[in-house]
Amino acid sequence: MKMIDDYKGKRVLVLGAGKSGTHAAELLQTLGAFVTLNDSKPSDQLPEVAELEDRGIHTVTGKQTADILDQGFDLMVKNPGIPYDNAVVARAVNDRLPIITEVELAAQITDAQIVGVTGSNGKTTTVTMITKILNQERQKGHAYAAGNIGISATETAMKATADDTIVMELSSFMLLGIKKLHPHVAVLTNIFSNHLDYHKTRENYVNAKMRITMNQTADDFFVVNFDDDEWRQLSKRSLATVVPFARTADINRGAYEKNGKLYYNDEFIMNANDIKVPGQQNVENALAAIAAAKILGKSNLAITNVLETFTGVRHRLQFVLESDDRRFYNDSKATDIEATQTALEGFDQPVVLLAGGLDRGYTFDKLIPQFKDHVKAAVLFGETADLLEDSLQKAGVEQITKVKNIDEAVPVAYHDSAEGDVILLSPANASWDQFKTFEERGDEFIKDVEKLTLKQEAHE
């Protein structure tokens, strides 16, 4: 890592603990800063606090109020999930205190090459595909996945060398807090209308996503999904060399699918149906990964070795198991309508759908075509069960059951299924009405599926 002097002697407030906050605080102290970490949770819920205190890092826990800024900081490193209308952040903005996120700090100190990936859907899968491909046939160094994928970017940056590559998953929240972050290859998977409760308008959300390319030059590459005209037009904002990918659009450069075959600049790479993970969205993710990999000089064999064996990321259309000729899939990461649309379109088999969650004030009529074409039965739970039922009825789905939670939903879904069916958790909603995270929701589903199938086997 680079031992930069930018933070030497500076007073820095790290707002929010967790992995990213803890590692940012440790790095800043290593760089000579005087660090204070502030989290609204009490210290007994933050096991990392004792270690930080032992290192001499000041911590303030159990409250998060604007008067902490009276201490006179030079910089704030903000947890990306903390909104800008938070009292501390709002005052910092008003006081013109510089605010960055942890990924910016990581980018400033790393010697490694950076590949950045953003988008509404498909980020984690694309990051994982790219990282695995970059580690194929590698003679020097290692490729690391980091960022929004759940691995601290600063921790990764501290261990990465100039021979390494960091493939960063970058959320819109993270990108709002960058200044100099400069990916050599940036990938935009897609943009839908997500996180408007945070960004307030779609324009703000789009602009946040496009910050991934703001520091790129003509020597860099911007990989963009050309299947939507809006995304194609957004690519014109970048100074980088644009490399398109497309599953449906008719293009003849970059990565694309034609007649069930995947190409890069007219070079055949593989058959689309040889991709191990199901669904058209994973063809798109694979095309984005192919483009990034070819830009970085990887062979076709390196690409196919990964894409023909990679079975998916946990909670993202993850194959769980097969029992009684029924295949169970965990797509708990589908926290919006578009993700569930894409998941349903990925299956030719009849689907028994488990869905529901936090009510964000919208209906689910956009899902009617997918409900009509793919869903044979639905099991609904959470705050949006009635809204989902209304849209399913409009689609002509007759077999609809409402239950209290996922624990009740899994055995009902099995009862409503037949041999050859897919039983799919793809909620189309955030999890926060019943779970802390979508990961917790997905883990509960997996546990219930395993419990159910063990019982079925015991009866046989």
Domain spans of the chain, in order of start:
11-100, 103-307, 318-452
Say how many Å lie between the first and final Cα of the chain, rounded: 58
Cα angle 23-155-20, degrees, rounded to a multiple of 5: 40
Q: Are 290 and 255 in contact (CB under 8 A)?
A: yes
Fold for 11-100, please state it: Rossmann fold (3.40.50)
Pick out the residues of the known binding site for ATP. Answer: 119-125
User: Residue 192 in 3-state DSSP?
Assistant: coil
Tokens 């007759």: give the residue: 398
C-alpha 313 chain-centroid distance: 10
Alpha carbon 163 to chain centroid, angstroms: 26
Q: CATH assignment of 318-452?
A: 3.90.190.20
Domains 103-307 and 318-452 fall in the same CATH topology: no
pTM of the complete model: 0.80
The residue type at 3: M
Give 402's contacts (C-beta < 8 A, 6+ positions apart). 379, 380, 381, 385, 386, 389
Locus of tokens 């990321």: 313
CA distance 166 to 147: 9
Contacting residues for 44 by C-beta, under 8 A, at least 6 apart: none
Nearest to 263 by CA among 235, 280, 278, 244: 244
**Binding site listing:** 119-125
Residue 186 is encoded by which pair of tokens? 């940036």
Q: Exposed e or buried b for every residue in 269-301, given b needs 16+ CB within 10 A?
A: bbebeebebbbebbbbbbbbbbbbbbbbebeee
The helix or strand, by DSSP H or E, that contains position 38, with its residue range, turns out to be strand 34-39
Task: Name the token pair of 454.
Answer: 């063990």
What's the CA gap between 388 and 400, in Å, rounded? 10
Q: What is the mean pLDDT of each run of 10 residues along the chain (460 residues)?
A: 94 93 95 96 88 92 95 95 92 96 97 96 93 96 94 95 98 94 97 72 92 98 96 96 97 96 97 90 95 98 96 85 93 92 91 96 95 98 97 97 97 97 96 94 96 68
Q: Give residue 202's pLDDT.
A: 87
Structure token pair of residue 410: 């899994």
Q: Which DSSP symbol is given to 308?
A: T
Q: List strand residue ranges (DSSP E) for 296-446, in order.
A: 318-323, 326-330, 351-355, 375-380, 399-402, 422-425
CATH T-level fold of 103-307: UDP-N-acetylmuramoyl-L-alanine:D-glutamate ligase (3.40.1190)
Closest to 249 (Cα-Cα) out of 234, 231, 270, 272: 231
pLDDT of residue 195: 64
